[in-house]
Amino acid sequence: MPEHTSDVVVIGAGLIGLATAWRLAADGIQVTVCDPTPGSQTSTVAAGMLAPVTEVEYGEDDLLALNLASVAAWPTFAAELEELTGLPAGLHQTGTLSVAYDVDDAAALRRLADYQRRLGLDVEELSGRDARKREPLLATGVSGGVWVPGDHSVDNRQAVAALLRAVELSGATVIRQRVSHVITAGTTAVGVQLDDGDTVRAAHVIGATGPWSSQLEGIPDELRPPVRPVKGEVLRLRVPEAYRPALKHTVRATARGFSVYLVPRPNGELVVGATTSELGYDTRVLAGGVFTLLRDARTVLPITDELELVESIAGLRPATPDNAPILGPSGLDGLLWATGHYRNGVLLTPITAQIIAETVRTGVLPELGKPFLGSRFGQSAEHLR
């Protein structure tokens, strides 16, 4: 069976794997990316919000710092990507409007705004009327809002296409094959074997395997990352020319206790997301998921009823026990993780690529990545040595 060699082999060609491969290849490092269907999974399904502020959760300070660093990195990342490829990277710096529907929703939004202010984040509380001044098609029942100028969005499908091109232009090799297992020699990862029997030998193996990370074969059980799939259903609607733009900014809403977000694209697409359910690797779109998304979207944006439903799709978020990614050394020499990005995969693409590329180049995980080692979940390879 043919044996390929490379400095680095990246398992998984979602946004994270592609961006990491691009950054390494751009530095003259020989990179091979393995994925049977590059860019086709979670990276394609996602709505593409860059939402470090509006999605901040109580007690996730390290994750907030990483998220803020990555939203700050997106403009340069996108500009470099566009310059190299001539393709749009999909970044839309529009700001985000969070809105509340009933009085309980408004109280919850105010509590969150207080917390965001205590963290020093840039948020501005608005009345329902002022929220509607920013987005005139919002329902008259919207009772309040918070304007967040630093949260944006990316057309993730454009970003995937541009990254695939960048990877090729930078001289990396993409092999459209599934990795059957990681090849080890003692406690060192030395490459991967593919489904067709070919092997890729490499000094560095990067697991950018998203929700499938815990399933990767060849890794000792005690070093498997605790990543589980969390399903999200997403709808894509088309706004007729006459109503464009239905929204100018990303809108996040809480409507009678339910969360929904609406992400407008310049081409008239409106992405509505997302459900959250723990059903293993099930990616069926359920009627109940479509119902709740449309119910909540039309509560805050009544014009939703007039839009064409062009797509319903489900993807799997790679979730970890603390909602933060797993980055850097795995416990197995030669294997680095770039996984577990849960709700923040699109957002964390530039900073993850930067952290992992620097770790490969220098052998040292940068300071910003240190809180995200898999060892925080008690994983250790000491007894294997």
Of these, 31, 274, 316, 338, which contacts ligand GLY (CB under 6 A)? 274
Q: Residue 370 and residue 189: Cα distance in Å, rounded?
A: 21
Q: Residue 269 and residue 88: Cα distance in Å, rounded?
A: 16
Q: Which residue's beta carbon is nearest to the bound ligand GLY? A: 343
Closer residue to ligand GLY, CB minimum distance, 49 or 113: 49
Closer residue to ligand GLY, CB minimum distance, 249 or 317: 317
State the pairing for strand pair 228-238/199-207: unpaired
Structure tokens at 168: 């090729």
Residues of span 211-250 touching ligand GLY by CB under 6 A: 232
Residues of span 137-156 touching ligand GLY by CB under 6 A: none
Residue 49 within binding range of ligand GLY, rule CB under 6 A: yes
Q: How many residues does the chain have?
A: 385
Sequence-separated (6 or more) residues with CB below 8 Å from residue 83: none
Size of the site for ligand GLY (CB under 6 A): 7
What's at 68, amino acid-wise?
L
- Least Å distance between CB 158 and ligand GLY? 18
x/- map, 326-355, ligand GLY, by CB under 6 A: -----------------x------------
Closer residue to ligand GLY, CB minimum distance, 40 or 277: 277
Torsion of CA 332, 334, 340, 346, to 10 degrees: 180
Closer residue to ligand GLY, CB minimum distance, 49 or 182: 49
- Least Å distance between CB 343 and ligand GLY? 3
In DSSP notation, 183-196 reads EEETTEEEEEEETT
Closer residue to ligand GLY, CB minimum distance, 21 or 234: 234
- Least Å distance between CB 366 and ligand GLY? 24
- Least Å distance between CB 369 and ligand GLY? 21
What are the strands, taking DSSP E only, across the chain?
A: 3-11, 31-34, 49-50, 91-92, 96-100, 124-127, 144-148, 152-154, 173-175, 179-185, 188-194, 199-207, 228-238, 250-255, 258-264, 269-273, 308-319, 326-329, 335-339
252 conformational bin, left if phi > 0, alpha if psi -120 to 50, beta if neither: beta
Closer residue to ligand GLY, CB minimum distance, 143 or 209: 209
Residues binding ligand GLY (CB under 6 A): 49, 55, 232, 273-274, 317, 343
